[in-house]
Amino acid sequence: MAINDSPSTLVAPSTSTPTQDNAPTPASTSNRDNAPSPHTSTQDTSPNFTVKDGLAKMFKGGVIMDVVNADQARIAEEAGACAVMALERVPADIRAQGGVARMSDPQLVTEIMDAVTIPVMAKARIGHFVECQILQELGVDYIDESEVLTPADNAFHVEKHAFRTPFVCGCRGLGEALRRIDEGAAMIRTKGEAGTGDVVEAVRHMRTVTTEINKARGMSDMELRGYAKELNAPFRLLKETAQLGRLPVVNFAAGGVATPADAALMMQLGCDGVFVGSGIFKSGNAAKRAKAIVQAVTHFKDPAVLAEVSGGLGEAMVGLNVGRMAEGEKMAGRGW
């Protein structure tokens, strides 16, 4: 069964307490969090990686849905989303309409926060730390530094440790994931290819992460140093990942998930949960599809449930075939 190959399969009794026993952990980065920050005004509640990573762990086994207004947020909440992502346009529309895609209007984000009681995430442009400061000020629960928006910096991502609000970032492979974690991301997702409804890129990115972790697992320290250079990843985090046999933070699927079967596929490949962007509100019956995807993520190993919830959902989003897209049209290439 595919699940046994997954990087998040931490079943061997000898590795059952891996996170804080024998390795430098994400928590060890928290001393940086405690440093006075130019970005935050709060001195008393120093941000702590345990708390950031903790919320990500509470999302596990859940579905995070893109919503563009309070009504959609309520539909998502009623469907059982474990969080919503507030944005102005879903990726499919960003793709169709073009132009520069930016952080959402704070008023919209606030309306969505007021409409639901589940956590609310919002997207900031890659490298745009002022958008992140604004989102933190609004009180969003997570910031997605996202390639779906137009990048604001062509060389750097946001330094994320200093923020009290935790960050999730996209990756195409292990090196990219570990660079983001090194910058302070407390949660990772595959980039996939957003707004297409084609799951092939999310699968590619998840498989790449898995393969690269498996490769690192048997390596000596010296080999890991070489591999760290090859992946352009920090040695410390690569070593920790090799010891854990999985990414040291929660890892969701994103970018092209459109059906309950897509969601369960990503779960069986070892993802901890699923983001669904355009796949829900660009489909025929959003509420029904949203519920079905939530059920599929919980019961991802049970084909009987998957068969039941996949039926009668109406039109899926039309979709774009990633294989026929020009390189320049892809969003996943954004990020450094």
Partner 1 sequence: MMSDKMALDVHNHQMTRNIVVGVLALQGAFYEHLKLLQRAFREVAIGQDEGWEFVEVRTAQELERCDALIIPGGESTTVSLVAARSNLLEPLRDFVKVRRRPTWGTCAGLILLAESANRTKKGGQELIGGLDVRVNRNYFGRQTESFEAELALPFLGTKDGRGDVKPFNGIFIRAPVVEKILPVIRGEQASERAIDETVIAPSRSPEGEMNEQVLRPVEVMATLPGRSRTLKKHVAATGLEDEAGDIIAVKQGNVFGTSFHPELTEDARIHVWWLQQVKDMTQHEEKSRFP
Q: What span, in angstroms and rounded, lies between the C-alpha atoms of 90 and 182?
A: 28
Q: What span, in angstroms and rounded, lies between the C-alpha atoms of 183 and 208?
A: 21
Question: Is residue 46 packed enough to be buried (19+ CB in 10 Å), middle (13-18) or exposed (0-12)?
Answer: middle
Instruction: Quote the tokens at residue 289.
Output: 């599809």
Q: What span, in angstroms and rounded, lies between the C-alpha atoms of 160 and 122?
A: 15
Instruction: Quote the tokens at residue 290.
Output: 């949203």
**Binding site per annotation, positions:** 66, 195, 207, 256, 277-278
**What is the footprint of partner 1 within residues 60-79 (CB under 8 A)?**
60-62, 74, 77-79
Are the beta carbons of 290 and 279 closer than 8 angstroms?
no
Binding piece for partner 1, criterion CB under 8 A, among 14-22, 104-112, 144-152, 170-178: 14-22
Q: ∠ CA(185), CA(5), CA(258), 5° rounding?
A: 65
Q: Is 51 in the site for partner 1 (CB under 8 A)?
A: yes
Neighbour count for residue 182 (Cβ, 10 Å): 16
- The values of phi and psi at residue 227, to 5°, are -65, -35
State in angstroms the smallest separation of the CB of 31 from partner 1: 14
State in angstroms the smallest separation of the CB of 141 from partner 1: 4
Beta bridge partners of 65: 84, 276
* Nearer to partner 1 among residue 93 and residue 159 (C-beta): 159
From residue 94 to residue 133, what is the string marking binding to partner 1 with x (rule CB under 8 A)? ---------------------xxxxx--------------
Are the beta carbons of 270 and 3 closer than 8 angstroms?
yes
**What is the footprint of partner 1 within residues 268-327 (CB under 8 A)?**
270-272, 291, 294-295, 297-299, 302
Q: What span, in angstroms and rounded, lies between the C-alpha atoms of 38 and 129?
A: 11
SS3 142: strand
* Nearer to partner 1 among residue 92 and residue 254 (C-beta): 254
State in angstroms the smallest separation of the CB of 251 from partner 1: 10
Binding piece for partner 1, criterion CB under 8 A, among 52-60, 99-107, 151-159, 195-203: 52-60
**Binding site per annotation, positions for D-glyceraldehyde 3-phosphate:** 207
How many residues touch partner 1 under the rule CB under 8 A: the total is 59
Active site residues: 123
Q: In the complex, which residues of this chain contact partner 1 (CB under 8 A)?
A: 1, 3-4, 6, 8-11, 13, 16-17, 19-21, 44-45, 48, 50-51, 54-55, 57-62, 74, 77-83, 115-119, 136, 139-142, 164-166, 267, 270-272, 291, 294-295, 297-299, 302
